[in-house]
Amino acid sequence: MRNTETSYDAARPPTAERCTRATRTVIACGLLVTALPIQSASTNCRSAGDLRLASPDGRREMLLYVRICGDRATGEVEIVQKGAPVPDRPGNIDVPGHPIEVSGRWTSDAALILAVPGTNALPKPQRIDGVTVTFVRLIKPGS
């Protein structure tokens, strides 16, 4: 697993080229977890990984993790109270396609921006446990 803290300008979506070390602004340009192959007939699921970004007041965290079900892995995003365990279920933020590569930034204690890859329409903002989650496009270098 790779944990990279990042920052980006709110007016410009994040790219891997602009990912730089920072404090309290932005988190990951991705969460990478390698899972051993599991028989595809298996219906057992498990959560793996644990990449967190605390809200400015430190009471909440954005949690990135991976759900592995048989031979399929999905990226999950969850808003949790600080220090909460990784849930053994899908995340509470509905990210279309459940990509493993997601970037996020708290703009206040009650607002989070998630940058997601893809070309489909971005989802409408979601309200989760008092936090408004807004989506922007994650731009990769060379795209």
Query: Given this model, what pLDDT does residue 143 score?
Result: 64
Query: pTM score, two decimals?
Result: 0.68
Strand order in the sheet with 131-137: 103-108, 111-116, 131-137, 126-128
pLDDT digits (tens, 9 = 90+) for 57-69: 999 999 999 999 9
Distance CA 93, CA 133 (A): 8
26 neighbors 7 (Cβ within 8 angstroms): yes
pLDDT digits (tens, 9 = 90+) for 17-72: 333 333 333 334 344 443 344 333 346 899 999 899 999 999 999 999 999 999 89
Confidence band of 87 (pLDDT split at 50, 70, 90): very high
Distance CA 133, CA 139 (A): 18
Query: Given this model, what pLDDT does residue 43 score?
Result: 62
Query: Given this model, what pLDDT does residue 81 score?
Result: 96
Query: Given this model, what pLDDT does residue 25 score?
Result: 34
Which runs of E-coded beta strand occur in the chain?
A: 45-54, 60-69, 72-81, 103-108, 111-116, 126-128, 131-137
**Percentage of the chain with pLDDT > 70?**
69
pLDDT digits (tens, 9 = 90+) for 93-135: 988 888 888 899 999 999 999 999 988 889 999 999 999 999 9
- Residue-level length of the chain: 143
Distance CA 85, CA 83 (A): 6
What are the extents of the domains in the chain? 16-35+44-137
Mean pLDDT score across all residues of the chain: 76
